[in-house]
Structure 1
Amino acid sequence: MNIQKSYQDDGKTAGKLYLVGTPIGNLEDMTFRAVRVLREVQWIAAEDTRQTRKLLTHFDIATRLVSYHEHNKQASGPELIRLLEAGDSVALVSDAGLPAISDPGADLVRDAIRAGIDVVPIPGANAALSALIISGLPTERFTFVGFLSRDRKSLVRELEALKREKGTVLLYEAPHRLQKTLRLAAEILGAEREVALVRELTKRYEEAARGTLGECVDWLERTAPQGEYVVVLGGAEAAGDEPSEQSAWWRKLTPREHVAHYEAQGLAHKEALRSAAQDRGIPKRELYNELHRSM
């Protein structure tokens, strides 16, 4: 068990690791608290020190800056933990938005927790959630998947799994891959699946294109994608894609045949088990036990 009480004096001599949200485009989204913390800590660990230095200069922050990113985390991570254990506090920032989401900051968080160091969030802007709340799609249940695979075979598997996801799906996509990803999504999820394509959030050219996958694919044929996109996909439940138990394609399959069907599509056993359990509307553990009872 690890119990953290962020603002109580527990006698610890170690510093704190602050995860500081930074603007995703508009500098006015920087919070007073974020500016204060960045001034008070002994070190700021940044994904790109050149990018972060512009932010620090704008807000007149003179704190020492060090680099922490995917390619140096094996060396930089332990050094940051050493500084924290010695009593210094460190603020972790990404290029934009909240750190530790789809970036190596998550590794530093785990290392800090294992070392008994308090990890404190300083909330701020986030592209995925900002896109979600302006998409017009359901917000009660959603799944963030970050960037999908570049390899077509893996991408097909991931989209097949998302076909059964009931909640809204949030993902990131680069402009040069957007059309390819959406065409494949329309093929697998159906051209009538609702989607919102959101780019340049908080910036001058902020744009949200809302419609079906088919409509957005056609629109992109006439409008060249520009900038990083957040793609907000309507879930299977909203699209009416969830088949009734009576009409489900898998109804005549035994549990073992059902799992084998997904394995034949290239899914690992655990993923195939999860997919089959989702189809049947039962917990994965229950399906696992059923398979072993029938052996």
Structure 2
Amino acid sequence: MPLQSDYLNNIDDRSDLKDEPKTLTAPQAVEMLQRRLDPVFGEGEGVIRVFESDGILADAAAGADYIKIRSDAIFNERDVRALEVHEGLVHVGTTLNGQNQPICTFLAKGPPSSTVTQEGLAILMEVIAFASYPTRLRKLTNRTRAIHMAEEGADFLDVFGFFREQGYDEDECYSNANRVFRGSLPNGLPFTKDLSYLKGFIMVYNYIQLAVRQGKLEHIPLLFCGKTTLEDMRTLRQLVDEGMVAPPRYLPQQFQDLNALSAWMCFSNFLNHLSLDRIEADYANIL
């Protein structure tokens, strides 16, 4: 986590990486997101609905066959792209794949035990679909750090101050601190769901790496069969072989092309074994 924070801090002040202005209203974001998801899930079939809502705290939230957009939220195109991938292709997609199961329709339901895998899969999809961006990663990292602070005894004001130090405005600081202490007290224990994003990303990434390493590529798309957990993947594979579980109907392009995904993972595994300190020393005169 500190290493990732260092990377993000080093590029934070670059003017060419500043976020696009948020100029899209909720109705515009709804229209754009619906237009992008229709070709994936079936245009004209009403498989997935995108609509405004006044009853959510987050900018967006996914349900079984819909995505709600908060009515007063403002977006840019990159935000909408992230929602398309995270909420649409992963969260709604896995739910619909679960509903389409001939027998094991319970895979459409997401028990708490599936949260880490599902959120990790969504973050991984953001990365490999080029839908993520430094501000997004910084937000996830800071939320994780804030939870750690609360676990170590920090109260609401301490966490609020931490987000101020990270450059957020007061409204964002309050919202982020409030997120950490959801369902708790200002000096109580944190709500730790936000740990699932980065923890899940690491776990799902490692699972795919090992699947490629062991030549078990057929296991990878099964992550989208429904609200799966990594602990159940071996059993899920057996159920597929027995005809009890159907392969996912809705599968992102990045996971349809196992040739490209496995090549990416092979190169990634190789690069992970290189020493960045040694590389930095070797490149000292050219970078």
TM-score category (smaller protein): under 0.3
Which of the pair is proportionally richer in helix?
2
Structure with max Cα Rg:
1
Which of the pair is proportionally richer in strand?
1
Question: Structure 1 length normalisation: TM-score?
Answer: 0.23
